[in-house]
Structure 1
Amino acid sequence: MKTIPWHRLVLRLTFLSVQVAVIHGGTTIASAANDSPSRPNIVFILADDAGFSDVGCYGGEIATPHLDALAAGGLRFTQFYNTARCWPTRAALMTGYYAQQVRRDKLPDLGGGNRGKRQPWARLLPDFLRPHGYRNYHSGKWHIDGKVLDAGFDRSFRVENQGNFFSNQGNLVDGVKVKVPEDEVSFYTTTATADHAIECLKEHSQNHTDAPFFHYIAFISPHFPLHAMPDDIARYRDKYLDGWDRMREQRFAKQRELSLLNTTLSALEPDLGPPYPFPEAMKQLGPGEVNRPLPWESLTKPQQRFQATKMAIHAAMVDRMDQEIGRVVEQLRSMNALENTLIFYASDNGASAEIMVRHGGHDPRAEPGSAATYLCLGPGFSSACNTPFRRHKTWVHEGGISTPLIVHWPAGIKAAGQLRHTPAHVIDIVPTILEAVGIEKPASWDGQSIPEAPGKSLLPAFAEDRTINREYLWWLHDGHRAVRDGDWKLVAANGDPWELYDLRTDRAEANNLADQMPDEVTRLEALWTAQLDASIELAEADQ
């Protein structure tokens, strides 16, 4: 006989008692007592290019009171990972597989990547929730293959205009392009994303009170171009004139006060610039742009002002996103749904060192942060946003793959304001949600078997600070590669030799032990290669 874990058994018995109450006209699913939670609602909030320390409760100075409040009432994971890039993270988040396994990131001599198409069995989370009565909503960025409504969502606001935060042009509502008035004013993507989420929640509370819901809210903030509301920028305009060196020191000091990490502060890498060179962009952006994290005092005063202004806009974007999250939370509270809504917050990758000019170009005469400008954060302040880690988005060193994970669920998590130290990954979100709502993932889809996924449920860690049992975690992106087994991490940038770090005390990746411990390098490299081979085998299936 198959043994059912105790936490899953409790959930099943709870759901059975709720269903009996409904049949007999008693307590509905939406109003079950908090000490016996009904099937919860789920809200997953994903930021775009936010650094590990951008949120206040992870060390940042940016005003994020609403996210901080969710953390104070729930949990903060200190070793949660993404895939280092936007589209593979979204695929892994919504499927529970490594993106390479479902053809959404490149493998050697095999297709995939942001134009790859998932296999028919690689379903997204809403497809598993819908048969059990869940309504599914999407607001914001998509960047997954296929159409949103075809993936099991009931409603969608799909932001396709990622080059102008001040225009709704090109975006889609339920798959249909919006009609934008010629005199379009007062539009801002971050606010519009929250507006749509709140509209869906209001409609749900009016027409679907007997059904739980899953809402995927994918903000584009603070991804480039750095566009923000003038009043938001004004609050930070002069805040960063002391530079990225000072900002890193201050954030690291706060992280230590919060007991978030046991590590040193990583060193800046002044020879490491953006992941992709765009020399023409440097000309367009002018002499204030700097594409290396040089010592702040070595910059000219105009360069310091230009860089500090960019960071001010980045901060304004994070601040505004937090304000909009606060509005969504307030809507949940007004519906009496907050108590039994499982809320997650994470970022799709680390802060970005990229510097480029796309879409409508950049007007250096325009007010920084306005629609006519196209600015990117760059490697100096990106390093500070990723404090205390090394490197940035696209790399699989800790700065590229580390994200906050805030989890808030009053009806299901009794702990408040606590830390969780288990290493975890976005592949774990699907199994976590399925177990939290008491749904067994089917063994097949449309007659095709569903392969076993590598993600693990984090539900046991909700109850206590414990390590989730797994073999290892694995990364590959743009030739950068890594594997983590326990506290050992093997990592290499594209074309570079392996580096070995003991993450118990060195998440800054400062003390490379590869030469001293060649046997450990060999062992971990074998794990990395085994997962590569398994990913290729799965990706090649069903061609």
Structure 2
Amino acid sequence: MQQKMPLRRHRFRKTALGLVALSLALQGCGGSDDDTVATTPPPATLAKRPNILFIMADDLGYSDVGAFGGEISTPHLDALAASGRLLTNHHTGTVCAITRSMLISGTDHHLVGEGTMGAPNDERRGLPGYEGYLNDRSLSVAQLLKDAGYHTYMAGKWHLGSNIATPATPVPLGTAGHTPDQWGFEKSFALMGGAASNHYFHETATSKNYTENGAYIQPGQPGQPGTGSYSTDFYTQRLISYIDANKGDGKPFFAYAAYTSPHWPLQVPEPWLSKYKGRYDAGYEAIRAARIAKQKQLGIIPQDFTPYATDPETLTSSPASANNGTASAKYINAVNGPADGYVDHGAGRVSKKWDSLTALEKKAQARYMEIYAGMVENLDHNIGVLIQHLKDIGEYENTLIVFQSDNGAEGWPIASASTDPKATDEANAADAVYATLGTDNGLTSAKRLQYGIRWAEVSATPFRQTKGHFGEGGVGTPLIVRMPHQAKAAGNFTSFTHIVDLTATFLDAGQAKLPTEAAPPSINAITGVDQNKGKVVYDSRYVYPVTGQSLLQVLLGNSSASVRKAPFADESYGRAYVTSTDGKWKALWTEPPHGPADGHWQLYDLTKDRGENNDLSATNPDVLKGLVTDWKTYMTSVGGVEPLRPVGYY
């Protein structure tokens, strides 16, 4: 357990028996498990199997919703929170596809094909678990609920494989036929990739970016669904049409609203496009401070909580190491550091604070956030339309409604380190261009407008890091749950929860039968490893079981205890983290220059410092050593491979 972590795949392939105990575990945040406030809990039992509506935002930050401290107007989500419950210590993967693979499968992403988002372009390419699509070793929450008698619907972003199944090319599940209909969704309208090039559905006649019920469609072409629509509006109406198609037949439904908002490109129709004009002229620091004050007022964080201090300002890019990009480079990673001769790393980024921006940069930057806020409010409006429709058809009271984001806020740098960082902003501030920002240009590809690192840091308030990282701002997201027949808010649940726990919760609420028959042994002749160890039999396949822990009893008010009883660990892009069984400690690894220059693992006491300000690795070496050992065991259990060169999402 203490030996140096090997890099080759076959040394990591002990499969998944350790997963239940190690990969999906407890993480606490400061305070009690259940805040003591005067509230009315939901009913202690479910009178009947509920409908399930799961709403996923794309790249929304922890504090963007009003109920979590944001200034953006989100009245419908706030109302959902007022009659539901906030889970304030909820976690996802670092990026979209990784999170979505865990939602569908209910287990670790390395096991089911998304070890990284898409097939990696490094030494891991082609290895089991790195296929870049949901592989045939995965269960599906939709299929299991369908087996249990549910209708299953989806509209929005899929991002788990793009090939369609055709009679002319019959192949095993997971090698083609990656569309939602192949994974148990009765009706589906899906964006197959990770991002739309234009939120207004301007697709060519040969586009293969969208499918409906397993067939390619081309929105934007005459007579095609989606043509003339804004994506968030269209996904809402498509999901409503699916629900209505079987209305009144007595079967419950599972509906997955996988919105692409507020993912770039920043676009939104009026009146939302103009609504926030001037609202963000005060800049990053002022907006972030206001959010922190509101979070404390709302009880999202304690009064004595110390937020992350924000990343230091960098007016020039830090240089890469001398051997960066050469064949002789030995990159620092989570298992090899300078003591082992690994010293190389890439260049840093320019990241200014508000007062260091030029007037034109401020003009453009404020506009980006105005458009982003408009997208979030439009998303909230559509969620309101969806909820109102459930009320209109008499299904609202018997529906379990869950809302979250797929990962932390998107902090993609607007300019690369090799260019003048202000050039993009100042060009976008020119009158002719500025007037078009966020509008529909009518083209198949919109301007790839993003709001950048510092606004993402605001969205991640009060936490550290953003999408692609394992700091709390990268994997901590808002979570709102309303149980059937719940009328008033229940107290915030502050124990660690994870996306796979929602999968388990949905299956529990739907009384779905989970496969339990152990898969027969399959010994690899070279390694001697049983490749079926930990798998179960389902539909003539050998698959990894759901390892999330159901939150149903917590949500029903029958328990206030954490559902996690073991360490929790994860890895993506070579970045890593692991938390202790009691939720007190978190070990975090980020490659330099974004992490420590010497490549050491950082250590944080989450009960006192969920903002991750004070690295305690030097004063608690034994704690850190034990956590890193837990992380290595996790990597073995899921077949994970630490890349020779960690290369982050950006």
d(CA) in 2 for partners of 1:332, 1:48:
23
* Cα deviation code 1:342-399 (max 9, x no counterpart): 1111111111111369xxx999544111234321110111000000011110011111
Matched residue, 2:140: 124
d(CA) in 1 for partners of 2:387, 2:449:
31
CA shift, 1:501, in A, is: 0.6
Q: CA separation of 1:62/1:81 partners in 2, compared to 1, >3 Å: closer, same or farther?
A: same
Matched residue, 2:622: 519
d(CA) in 1 for partners of 2:106, 2:554:
18
Q: Is residue 2:223 matched to residue 1:165?
A: no
Matched-pair contact (CA < 8 Å) for 1:419–1:465 = no
Mapping of residues 494-505 of structure 1, within 5 Å? 494-495=591-592, 496-505=599-608
1:389 to 441, 463, 478: 463
Mapping of residues 246-285 of structure 1, within 5 Å? 246-262=286-302, 263-271=305-313
Matched-pair contact (CA < 8 Å) for 1:157–1:173 = yes
d(CA) in 2 for partners of 1:302, 1:39:
56
State the AA in 2 paired with 1:352: E
Q: CA separation of 1:98/1:415 partners in 2, compared to 1, >3 Å: closer, same or farther?
A: farther
Q: Is residue 2:232 matched to residue 1:190?
A: yes
Which stretch of the first structure deviates more once superposed, 93-102 or 74-83? 93-102
For residue 345 of structure 1, give the secondary structure of its aligned residue in structure 2: strand
Matched residue, 2:586: 489
Which stretch of the first structure deviates more once superposed, 36-45 or 64-73? 36-45
Matched residue, 1:134: 150
Mapping of residues 409-448 of structure 1, within 5 Å? 409-411=483-485, 416-443=489-516, 444-448=537-541
Q: CA separation of 1:405/1:479 partners in 2, compared to 1, >3 Å: closer, same or farther?
A: same
d(CA) in 2 for partners of 1:245, 1:512:
23
Matched-pair contact (CA < 8 Å) for 1:481–1:494 = no
Q: CA separation of 1:164/1:117 partners in 2, compared to 1, >3 Å: closer, same or farther?
A: closer
Matched-pair contact (CA < 8 Å) for 2:504–2:546 = no
Matched residue, 2:411: 353
Matched-pair contact (CA < 8 Å) for 2:201–2:219 = no
Matched-pair contact (CA < 8 Å) for 2:142–2:184 = yes
CA shift, 1:101, in A, is: 1.6
Matched-pair contact (CA < 8 Å) for 2:134–2:160 = no
CA shift, 1:115, in A, is: 4.8
Q: Which runs of 5+ in 2 are unaligned?
A: 1-42, 162-177, 320-348, 416-423, 442-446, 517-536, 593-598, 642-650
For residue 46 of structure 1, give the secondary structure of its aligned residue in structure 2: strand
Matched-pair contact (CA < 8 Å) for 1:52–1:385 = yes
Which stretch of the first structure deviates more once superposed, 166-175 or 80-89? 166-175
Q: Is residue 2:83 matched to residue 1:73?
A: yes
Matched-pair contact (CA < 8 Å) for 2:112–2:137 = no
1:371 to 436, 440, 451: 440
Matched-pair contact (CA < 8 Å) for 2:159–2:191 = no
State the AA in 1 paired with 2:235: T
Matched residue, 2:102: 92
State the AA in 2 paired with 1:46: M
d(CA) in 2 for partners of 1:471, 1:35:
27
State the AA in 2 paired with 1:223: H
Q: CA separation of 1:36/1:148 partners in 2, compared to 1, >3 Å: closer, same or farther?
A: closer
Matched residue, 2:554: 461
Counting aligned pairs with the same residue, the percent is 31
CA shift, 1:446, in A, is: 2.3
Matched-pair contact (CA < 8 Å) for 1:57–1:68 = yes
Mapping of residues 41-56 of structure 1, within 5 Å? 41-56=51-66
CA shift, 1:112, in A, is: 6.5
CA shift, 1:180, in A, is: 2.9
Matched residue, 1:10: none
d(CA) in 1 for partners of 2:390, 2:143:
23
For residue 102 of structure 1, give the secondary structure of its aligned residue in structure 2: coil
Which stretch of the first structure deviates more once superposed, 221-230 or 321-330? 221-230
CA shift, 1:298, in A, is: 1.7
CA shift, 1:465, in A, is: 3.3
For residue 294 of structure 2, give the secondary structure of its aligned residue in structure 1: helix
Q: Is residue 2:368 matched to residue 1:310?
A: yes
For residue 101 of structure 2, give the secondary structure of its aligned residue in structure 1: helix
State the AA in 2 paired with 1:458: L
State the AA in 2 paired with 1:127: Q
Q: Is residue 2:185 matched to residue 1:153?
A: yes
Matched residue, 1:227: 267
d(CA) in 2 for partners of 1:238, 1:148:
41
Matched-pair contact (CA < 8 Å) for 2:354–2:362 = yes
Q: CA separation of 1:374/1:469 partners in 2, compared to 1, >3 Å: closer, same or farther?
A: closer
Q: CA separation of 1:395/1:113 partners in 2, compared to 1, >3 Å: closer, same or farther?
A: farther
* Cα deviation code 1:244-269 (max 9, x no counterpart): 10011000000000111232121121
d(CA) in 1 for partners of 2:112, 2:314:
32
Q: CA separation of 1:87/1:198 partners in 2, compared to 1, >3 Å: closer, same or farther?
A: same
d(CA) in 2 for partners of 1:34, 1:200:
31
d(CA) in 1 for partners of 2:477, 2:578:
17
d(CA) in 2 for partners of 1:195, 1:519:
55
d(CA) in 1 for partners of 2:77, 2:147:
31
Matched residue, 2:325: none
For residue 475 of structure 1, give the secondary structure of its aligned residue in structure 2: strand
* Cα deviation code 1:34-93 (max 9, x no counterpart): 976211111111111100000000000001111111111111001000111000000011
State the AA in 2 paired with 1:434: L
Query: Structure 2 length normalisation: TM-score?
Result: 0.71
Matched residue, 1:470: 565
1:331 to 389, 402, 405: 389
CA shift, 1:294, in A, is: 2.3
Q: CA separation of 1:478/1:319 partners in 2, compared to 1, >3 Å: closer, same or farther?
A: same
Query: Structure 1 length normalisation: TM-score?
Result: 0.84
Matched-pair contact (CA < 8 Å) for 1:88–1:114 = no
State the AA in 2 paired with 1:343: I
State the AA in 2 paired with 1:153: F
Bigger helix share: 1
Matched-pair contact (CA < 8 Å) for 1:80–1:402 = yes
Matched residue, 1:533: 636
Matched-pair contact (CA < 8 Å) for 2:148–2:513 = no
d(CA) in 1 for partners of 2:276, 2:130:
35
State the AA in 1 paired with 2:467: K
The CA RMSD measured in Å over matched residues stands at: 2.9
Matched-pair contact (CA < 8 Å) for 1:89–1:426 = yes
Which stretch of the first structure deviates more once superposed, 450-459 or 429-438? 450-459
Matched-pair contact (CA < 8 Å) for 2:46–2:484 = no
CA shift, 1:509, in A, is: 0.2
For residue 242 of structure 1, give the secondary structure of its aligned residue in structure 2: coil
2:246 to 199, 204, 207: 204
State the AA in 1 paired with 2:540: G
Matched residue, 1:300: 358
d(CA) in 1 for partners of 2:72, 2:129:
33
Higher relative contact order (CA 8 A, sep 6+): 2
State the AA in 2 paired with 1:368: L
d(CA) in 1 for partners of 2:182, 2:541:
18
CA shift, 1:293, in A, is: 4.2
* Cα deviation code 1:118-152 (max 9, x no counterpart): 44241211111111111100100000131111111
CA shift, 1:400, in A, is: 0.5
For residue 153 of structure 2, give the secondary structure of its aligned residue in structure 1: strand
* Aligned residue-pair number: 488
Q: Which runs of 5+ in 1 are unaligned?
A: 1-32, 278-290, 539-543
d(CA) in 2 for partners of 1:90, 1:404:
16
